[in-house]
């Protein structure tokens, strides 16, 4: 159908239908129409390949990274050790009570997402979302086995044959393998990866490992292979939320109809007839590459994940036509509206692309192009500020946090005990936390309780004022401590004092404000 007389022979004309086009939105209960995205080539596609390799690489390889923590802690760089309630991340080790670090990271992830979205639209969706990355991966497999768009359509329409069966079976088999590998990689974050791999292969792993692999296999296979764009369009909340994140200064993938319309498949002929034509030759290249099955020329649509593949497709067409790239481009709504106003004389006429061009064919000065400064506006700076603030707070908390802690629980019943010589004794449950993967001797002493001495169950040392307590690496030690104060030294029925825990080797120190109870009416 390409018209060799009106445009270069290599601008292919696609007979394509945007199955999810805005003007033809299907009722929800209608069966899904298949989409056969054509392979795109260009800057954005290359960038997406890199992102895909990076993200998949991080996901699959991270559990296999090693990090030496000495003999008392696992050497896996990233490990969520649920059984021992520890989370290891390279040089950071988090105990459950420090979970706020994870909460803080999630807050940062949220603000990061807001920041990115208000600046460059749904970049998360288009480039790094696991759904996008895995669908891309599944499409690579599909193309390798069934061919590109046209062959796939043909195969889909063909009657069942051995060949078709073989192709379909091998495609689904490889998809399933990828899905198993996806679920398989996930579990390695929760146990020593090499050990667990052997266990999984020999059938010795815990049932939960197999269940996790099975569940993630099913979700990966069905979300990435079978449901694809429907996940984004129907299931994911983010497309709905992003509407609140975008403003007229956010970059979104835009069809610049102010230079593209009126579109014409026979531009030269139309021009010869004196008609005004835009840059769009209506080749549908942008439609066939779209993984979401939409036509970007219908304007911004909820379905568009801004994968920018249509930009690549159209840029190639523009190159062949000798036109400027960017008929489809990342553009802001304000630029777009300005240029539309130019092309339509402020909305009074239909689009007249000659308005946006000078006599020599270049763009007129009245056309605005993207200016990167617009990224730095109050809103994005605010997001950046909050993001950085949370980050700095976390960093500070990380650097300042204690690796030695003492927690104290006063006995509730009895509150105090009177001893035979009249001395008063209080009981405490003292917890010493050694939060480094080294065994330590922690010195426990009292401060601020005159004449007081203590005795500790299970520690073979006579009544005294300071105890040397060995604590295992990366462990908590619970002690029953009895503090005794001579009757003559008791100054009130509620005396405040400190338990002090100290590592004399490193100088680390922590204290806990505790209360010593005595009967009322004592002298």
What residues line the site for other proteins (CB under 8 A)? 27-29, 411-414, 417-422, 425, 427, 455, 457-458, 480, 482
Give the one residue of 304, 343, 430, 435 binding ligand SF4; rule: CB under 6 A.
304
Instruction: Express the helix, strand and coil content of the chain in percent, nearest 5 each.
Output: 45, 20, 40
Instruction: Report how far residue 141's alpha carbon sits from residue 144's, in angstroms, rounded to the nearest whole number.
Output: 5
Closest Cα partner for 292 from 63, 18, 71, 479? Answer: 18
Instruction: Report how far residue 428's alpha carbon sits from residue 415's, in angstroms, rounded to the nearest whole number.
Output: 10
217 phi, psi to nearest 5 deg = -65, -45
Residue 307 binding ligand SF4, by CB under 6 A: yes
| Residue 79: count of CB within 10 angstroms of its CB | 24
Q: How far is the CB of 265 from ligand SF4 (least distance, A)?
A: 9
Q: How far is the CB of 387 from ligand SF4 (least distance, A)?
A: 26
Residue 436 binding ligand SF4, by CB under 6 A: no
- Torsion of the alpha carbons at 233, 234, 235 and 239, rounded to the nearest 10: 40
Nearer to other proteins, 37 or 427 (CB): 427
Residue 16 binding ligand SF4, by CB under 6 A: no
Q: How far is the CB of 444 from other proteins (least distance, A)?
A: 17
Q: State whether residue 93 is helix, strand or coil.
A: strand
Q: How far is the CB of 435 from ligand SF4 (least distance, A)?
A: 48
Window contacting ligand SF4 (CB under 6 A); options: 27-35, 235-243, 306-314, 481-489: 306-314
Region 316-345 residues binding ligand SF4, contact defined as CB under 6 A: 317, 327-328
Query: Is 83 in contact with 209 (CB distance < 8 Å)?
Result: no
Nearer to ligand SF4, 132 or 434 (CB): 132
Residue 296 binding ligand SF4, by CB under 6 A: yes
Q: How far is the CB of 258 from ligand SF4 (least distance, A)?
A: 13
Q: Residue 427 binds which entry of other proteins, ligand SF4, none, with Cβ cut-offs from 5 to 8 Å by kind?
A: other proteins
φ/ψ bin of 67: left (φ > 0), alpha (ψ from -120 to 50), beta (otherwise):
beta
N- to C-terminal Cα separation, the chain: 108
Q: In whole angstroms, how far apart are CA 260 and each of 114, 138, 311?
A: 31, 33, 13
Window contacting ligand SF4 (CB under 6 A); options: 1-9, 167-175, 253-261, 459-467: 253-261
Residue 282 binding ligand SF4, by CB under 6 A: yes
Q: Residue 417 binds which entry of ligand SF4, other proteins, none, with Cβ cut-offs from 5 to 8 Å by kind?
A: other proteins
- Torsion of the alpha carbons at 60, 62, 64 and 69, rounded to the nearest 10: -170
Q: State whether residue 440 is helix, strand or coil.
A: strand
Residue 267 binding ligand SF4, by CB under 6 A: no
Number of residues forming the site for ligand SF4 (CB under 6 A): 28
Q: How far is the CB of 154 from ligand SF4 (least distance, A)?
A: 22
464 phi, psi to nearest 5 deg = -160, -170
Q: How far is the CB of 412 from other proteins (least distance, A)?
A: 8
Instruction: Report how far residue 96's alpha carbon sits from residue 516's, in angstroms, rounded to the nearest whole number.
Output: 29
Q: Residue 314 binds which entry of other proteins, ligand SF4, none, with Cβ cut-offs from 5 to 8 Å by kind?
A: ligand SF4
Residue 129 binding ligand SF4, by CB under 6 A: no
Q: Residue 367 binds which entry of other proteins, ligand SF4, none, with Cβ cut-offs from 5 to 8 Å by kind?
A: none
Instruction: Report how far residue 249's alpha carbon sits from residue 238's, in angstroms, rounded to the nearest whole number.
Output: 19
Q: In whole angstroms, how far apart are CA 470 and each of 73, 365, 405, 460?
A: 18, 78, 14, 12
Chain-centre distance for alpha carbon 402: 29
Q: Residue 445 binds which entry of ligand SF4, other proteins, none, with Cβ cut-offs from 5 to 8 Å by kind?
A: none
Q: How far is the CB of 307 from ligand SF4 (least distance, A)?
A: 4
Nearer to ligand SF4, 133 or 292 (CB): 292
Q: In whole angstroms, how far apart are CA 302 and each of 22, 97, 299, 435?
A: 9, 41, 10, 49
Q: State whether residue 133 is helix, strand or coil.
A: helix
Q: In whole angstroms, how far apart are CA 89 and each of 67, 70, 86?
A: 9, 15, 10
Give the one residue of 94, 141, 216, 281 binding ligand SF4; rule: CB under 6 A.
281
Query: Which DSSP letter does residue 387 get?
Result: H
Nearer to other proteins, 131 or 250 (CB): 131
Give the one residue of 79, 286, 331, 356 binding ligand SF4; rule: CB under 6 A.
286
Residue 290 binding ligand SF4, by CB under 6 A: yes
Which residues make beta-bridge pairs with 158? none
Q: Residue 281 binds which entry of ligand SF4, other proteins, none, with Cβ cut-offs from 5 to 8 Å by kind?
A: ligand SF4
CB contact set of 30 (below 8 Å; sequence gap of 6+): none
Nearer to ligand SF4, 86 or 297 (CB): 297
Q: Which residues bind ligand SF4 (CB under 6 A)?
A: 253, 255, 260, 280-286, 289-290, 292, 294, 296-297, 304-310, 313-314, 317, 327-328
């Amino acid at each position: 159908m390409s018209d060799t007389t009106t445009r270069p022979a290599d601008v292919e004309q696609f007979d394509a239908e945007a199955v999810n086009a805005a003007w033809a939105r299907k009722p929800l209960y209608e069966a899904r129409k298949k989409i056969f995205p054509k392979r795109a080539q260009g800057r954005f596609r290359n960038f997406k390949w890199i992102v895909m390799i990076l993200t998949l690489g991080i996901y699959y390889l991270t559990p296999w990274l090693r990090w030496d923590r000495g003999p008392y802690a696992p050497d896996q760089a990233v490990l969520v050790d649920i059984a021992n309630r520890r989370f290891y991340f390279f040089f950071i080790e988090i105990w459950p009570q420090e979970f706020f670090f994870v909460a803080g990271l999630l807050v940062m992830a949220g603000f990061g997402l807001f920041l990115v979205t208000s600046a460059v639209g749904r970049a998360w969706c288009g480039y790094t979302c696991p759904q996008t990355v895995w669908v891309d991966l599944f499409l690579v497999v599909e193309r390798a086995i069934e061919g590109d768009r046209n062959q796939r359509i043909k195969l889909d329409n063909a009657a069942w044959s051995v060949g078709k069966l073989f192709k379909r079976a091998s495609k689904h088999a490889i998809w399933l393998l990828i899905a198993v590998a996806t679920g398989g990689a996930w579990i390695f974050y929760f146990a020593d990866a090499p050990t667990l791999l052997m266990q999984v292969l020999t059938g010795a792993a815990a049932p939960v490992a197999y269940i996790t692999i099975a569940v993630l296999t099913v979700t990966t296979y069905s979300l990435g292979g079978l449901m694809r764009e429907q996940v984004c369009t129907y299931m994911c909340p983010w497309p709905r939320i992003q509407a609140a994140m975008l403003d007229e200064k956010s970059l979104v993938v835009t069809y610049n109809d102010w230079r593209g319309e009126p579109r014409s498949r026979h531009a030269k002929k139309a021009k010869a007839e004196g008609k005004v034509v835009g840059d769009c030759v209506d080749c549908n290249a942008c439609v066939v590459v779209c993984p979401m099955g939409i036509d970007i020329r219908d304007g911004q649509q909820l379905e568009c994940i801004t994968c920018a593949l249509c930009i690549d497709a159209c840029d190639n067409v523009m190159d062949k036509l000798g036109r400027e790239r960017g008929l489809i481009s990342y553009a802001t709504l304000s630029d777009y509206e300005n240029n539309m106003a130019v092309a339509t004389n402020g909305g009074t006429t239909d689009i007249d692309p000659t308005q946006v061009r000078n006599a020599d064919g270049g763009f007129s000065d009245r056309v605005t192009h993207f200016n990167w400064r617009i990224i730095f506006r109050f809103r994005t700076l605010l997001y950046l500020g909050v993001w950085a603030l949370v980050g700095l707070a976390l960093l500070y908390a990380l650097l300042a946090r204690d690796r030695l802690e003492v927690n104290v629980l006063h006995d509730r019943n009895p509150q105090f005990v009177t001893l035979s010589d009249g001395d008063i004794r209080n009981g405490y449950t003292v917890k010493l936390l050694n939060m480094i993967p080294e065994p330590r001797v922690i010195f426990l002493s009292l401060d601020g309780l005159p004449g007081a001495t203590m005795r500790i169950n299970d520690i073979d040392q006579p009544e005294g004022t300071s105890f040397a307590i060995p604590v295992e690496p990366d462990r908590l030690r619970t002690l029953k401590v009895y503090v005794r104060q001579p009757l003559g030294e008791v100054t009130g029925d509620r005396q405040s004092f400190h338990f002090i825990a100290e590592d004399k080797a490193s100088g680390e120190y922590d204290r806990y404000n505790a209360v010593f109870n005595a009967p009322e009416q004592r002298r």
